Amino acid sequence: MIGQITIHVLFATALMSTLLYFLSIKAGDTYARVARGLFGLLTLGLLGAATGLIILILQHRFEYTYVQSYSSTELPLHLLIATMYSGQEGSFLLWTLLVAVIGVGLQPYARRHGYESQAMAFYGLILCFLTLLLVAKNPFAYVWETYARDGVAEGFVPQAGRGLNPLLHNGWITIHPPILFSGFAAMSVSFVFAMAGLLKREYHRWIDVALPWTLFATAVLGFGIMLGGFWAYETLGWGGFWGWDPVENSSLIPWLVSVALVHTMLVQKRTRGLVKTNVILAVAAFVMVLYSTFLTRSGILGDTSVHSFVDPGKFAFWILLLFMSTFTILGIVLVMRRRVDMNVNREEFSPRTREFMLSIGAAIVMASAVLVTIGTSWPVIMEVLGRPKVAIAIDFYNKVHIILLPAMLLVNGLSLLVQWRATTVSSFKRGLVRALVISLVATALSVLLGARDFVSILLAFGAWFSLVINGQIVLALYRRAPSTLGAYVSHAGIALLVFGIITTANYSETHHAQLVQGVPSKVGDYTLTFEGKEQVEKEFADREKFEYAIRIVGNDTDKVVKPVLYWSDFNRRQSAFLEPGIRWGLMNDLYVAPKAYDTEDVEHRTTVRRDTTYRVPIDSAVALRFVGFTMPMTETPAPDGRMRMSARLDVTVGGEQLDSTLRVPTRLTQGAEGMSFEQEWTLIPGTTIEVGLVDIKRNNADPTKSTGDLVFRDTSKPAPVARDIFTVEFAVKPLISLVWFGVITMVLGFVVSIVRYGRGKQRPPVGVAQDTPLAGTEVSAKAEASDTDAQQS
Amino acid sequence: MKPRYLIGLVLIIVIAALSFMMLDESSIEYADLDRAARLGKTVQVVGTWVKEDGSSYDAASNLFSFRMKDEQGKQIDVVLEGAKPNNFEIATSIVVKGRIEGSTLKASNVLTKCPSKYEGQASDLKAS
């Protein structure tokens, strides 16, 4: 009860704080002081709610629907804590909490820069919507409230929880969602500063204030996305790290917009251009966070994704829609009202300048964001337009980025060869020729090493071009001005990531293999042996989880990996849970994805249809023609009293048909799960082969279409022992380590930039402060080196 | 109009046209079996698994086969390249992505839709 009331009070507190912050814009600090206090209370309240939820989970208070739905008594501590945000209600609570916590850091910062009232008013408004969502999806609801219609009595306490989805049982659940949500939460900061800038008519200063936060949000979200990809690759066994799934896209889209925003903000910081572009992009980045949340949380994309979508109910659906439209409209209205006012600095960038190149780069990144958005939304767009429902094949995204990605890399390289404001033709040419020669040689080397198709070569050239130029600058600067290296490190990281994408997407080798226990099989260039299985996680009653030891030998490797395949009561044992086994390596990963586990079919089970002739699997000289079943009433019961049915077979041995039809009887047992059959082995006359009838599938509509399953054995030979068979997909993934290494490098670059811009040492914009020599007007090598200090891309 | 804007405009139109073409090419229509047979290209068919006819996975060829019924009640044999999809048995409906070749639907992917996936139900509650 107290939990639910708390959520309502928190919503009221958010409303009050927001209202007072809006009032304080005109009325001043008296209101702001109260609003500030309320904001602090709100954050404490949210912290309390989250802690309270965790405590309820730890105490296994199953009368709470959320606790009952997502946790169980067997879960270890870290997973119990992760349960707090594993369900929809809890994940909204985590998001809200992180927004509030970031707000606590934001408030003094905004105050210091004189933006508190405006920024925090909009920030509070975001929290109003988030807490309203919590009111609709209250994590503290009782089971008798949730299931009121099913007649669950008040005060009823369920005995056990449903447990956490076994797919989520690993360490990644404890870090991936909090980091991703921190990224989402931080994305709201650039938006509120843009709004504040518009209100205050300070169209340049908000950029300086917001830039470190935008960098922070982009870095954190990018890192979170990578962790998701790593999780999918390492644990979920989806085979890759990226599948253009709506859920993946929905975090990528805001990230792309934010990346574009970082670049255009830098242009404005240096040249005072792109004023409108920046406010529009700041609005767009935040609106895309909301749009993505709407797409993935409203249940609207239901059947197009591998992720499970839970329909949140009508109320939450409309809140999400209202949330998104409110901020879209607010953003548009404010931008439109200030549009004339913002025409403060209309000038054209000449093509041979960094500002021009950065604008083009941002435009390409935005093109990517727009196309991914359209692709992800296409099923919804078609539905709204009343056209036949469609889905988008993932090759759409691949095709689009085959064009956009090389363009991004080339523009990135070019942007570093030119300088702010103006570049002399000679210095540009010198740099370009050098970079082109090196990257062409490197690309040629890549071709020698195995790059074959045009797309790979094109991408590799782009990546080399970007890597060479960024690498040169890093090498030139890392002693003199390490604090300015952020951007170059980030871009070098992206180039490495692209190499990893090329090799894994185009040069992975995948083989399908059936591994019989103890028998080495040649799979590709390697020998795989299934050595045996071992049960793990015995404390969980819902599953018998086995690790299957697979030895991989070949190419100087001799390593045992342990993929996992198991069944769990969580999904009523309807399908298996899978985890891959990976031999990690710098040069390549060997990836064993389990597919099926079976025992060898030593009985040669064969399904027979009527009036069809079958060869006996263990003796091709013998053929059978199935002519029908006998009915139980025409058969004498078995000695143990059970009813019998028989399959009637016309038998041909060595081309000669036997005179009489062979009757193969089976004994019937009626069980809870239907009829079961026990065969009576029947010798085929003139051979050593016995046949048994082990299953009958009746077709009541047309009895002539009923089928039977026959098994065979050779009485002249010892009975073979059934061995276990483990079916796997074995893949060699070259240089996939570059994917992770590239993204981490990129994030590290962001960290360097955050430190640099967060310290607040502001450089006057180039060409505005007259006492600073215009960057790029000097041509000497010395000047060029010192200017790189000012370079940023 | 300045030539730079003109070039920009032309570029935007070209990119928009190209991406629309790609979008059209990559879009996979939802169709029933009759339409799927007529179109002869990859579509998505919504329907249910015909439980009575069973299902089988052949590990050697990595093919999963079963029989499905579309929303019009028409049936077809489906051969999926890959193992049995998750939650296949409890799915209330399935979405099969593939194309009809001869008398079978060659599927590249089967999505399963479950009654509020992994959501609790009142029937799961047991008293203490």
Contact B128 A157 (CB under 8 A): yes
> Mean per-residue pLDDT for A97-112?
95
Q: Which of A159, A308, A391 sits opposite B28 (nearest CB)?
A: A391
**pLDDT value at A339 more than 70:** yes
Chain B contact present for A727, CB below 8 A: yes
Burial class (CB in 10 A: 0-12, 13-18, 19+), A287: buried
Q: Which residue in B97, B95, B84 sits closest to B54, CA to CA?
A: B84
Whether the CB of A606 is below 8 Å from some CB of chain B: the reply is no
Beta strands in A429-520 (DSSP E): 509-516
Note the pLDDT of residue A773: 35
* Across A64-88, average pLDDT: 90
Return d(Cα A161, Cα A784) in angstroms, integer: 66
Q: Which residue of A has its CA nearest to B93?
A: A303
Number of inter-chain CB pairs under 8 A, A vs B: 123
| pLDDT greater at residue A419 or residue B52 | A419
pLDDT in tens, B87-109: 777 777 888 889 888 889 999 88
Poorest-confidence range of A203-217, A509-523, A773-787? A773-787
Return the pLDDT at A778: 32
Q: Which of B88, B116, B127 sits opposite A574 (nearest CB)?
A: B88
Task: With CB atoms and an 8 Å threshold, state whether A399 touches B87.
Answer: no
Rounded mean pLDDT of A393-400? 86
> Please, which pLDDT band fits residue A685 given cuts at 50, 70 and 90?
confident
Written as one letter, the residue type at A352 is: R
Q: Find residue B104's DSSP bridge partners.
A: B77, B101
Give the residue-averaged pLDDT of A659-688.
84
| Banded pLDDT at B61 (limits 50, 70, 90) | confident
Band of residue A688 on the pLDDT scale cut at 50, 70, 90: confident
Residue A310's pLDDT is: 59
Q: What's residue A769's pLDDT?
A: 38
Do B57 and A378 lie within an 8 Å CB cutoff? no
What are A757-793's pLDDT values in tens digits? 887 655 545 544 333 333 333 333 333 333 333 333 3
The overall average pLDDT reported for chain A is 86
Could you tell me the two tokens for A183? Answer: 């990224």
Q: Using CB atoms, which residue from B44, B82, B124 is nearest to A391?
A: B44
Distance CA A724, CA A123 (A): 60
pLDDT recorded at residue A312 = 67
pLDDT tens digits along A636-657: 888 888 888 899 888 888 878 8
Q: For a pLDDT cut of 70, what percent of chain B falls above it?
A: 83
Q: Does the CB of A762 have a partner CB in chain B at under 8 Å? A: no
C-alpha distance from A18 to closest chain B C-alpha (Å): 35
Q: What is the pLDDT of residues A358-374, one digit of tens each?
A: 999 999 999 999 999 98
pLDDT at A541 over 60: yes
Say yes or no for a CB contact (<8 Å) between B125 and A308. no
Highest mean pLDDT among A449-453, A504-508, A744-748: A744-748
pLDDT at B114 (0 to 100): 63
Q: What is the mean pLDDT of residues A412-425?
A: 86
A425: closest CA of chain B, how far (Å): 20
A310 → closest Cβ in B82, B97, B119: B119
CB spacing of A310 vs B30 below 8 angstroms: no
Which amino acid type is present at position A425? V
Q: What distance in Å separates residue B74's CA from the closest CA in chain A?
A: 16
ipTM: 0.76
Please check the confidence at residue A602 and state whether its pLDDT lies above 80. Answer: no
A166, closest residue in chain B (CA to CA): B118
**Angstroms from A766 CA to nearest CA on chain B:** 24
| DSSP per-residue string spanning A111-164 | HHTT-HHHHHHHHHHHHHHHHHHHHHT-TT-BHHHHTGGGTPPTT--BSS----
Please state, in angstroms and rounded to a whole number, the distance separating the CA atoms of residues A360 and A680.
78
**Token duo for residue B94:** 């399935």
Segment A500-518 shows an average pLDDT of 88
Q: Would the CB atoms of A310 and B116 count as touching at under 8 Å?
A: yes
Please measure the distance between the N-terminal and C-terminal CA atoms of chain B and give it in whole angstroms: 78
Percent of chain A with pLDDT over 90: 41
Q: For residue B122, what pLDDT is reported?
A: 56
Please name the residue that has the structure tokens 């409209």: A329
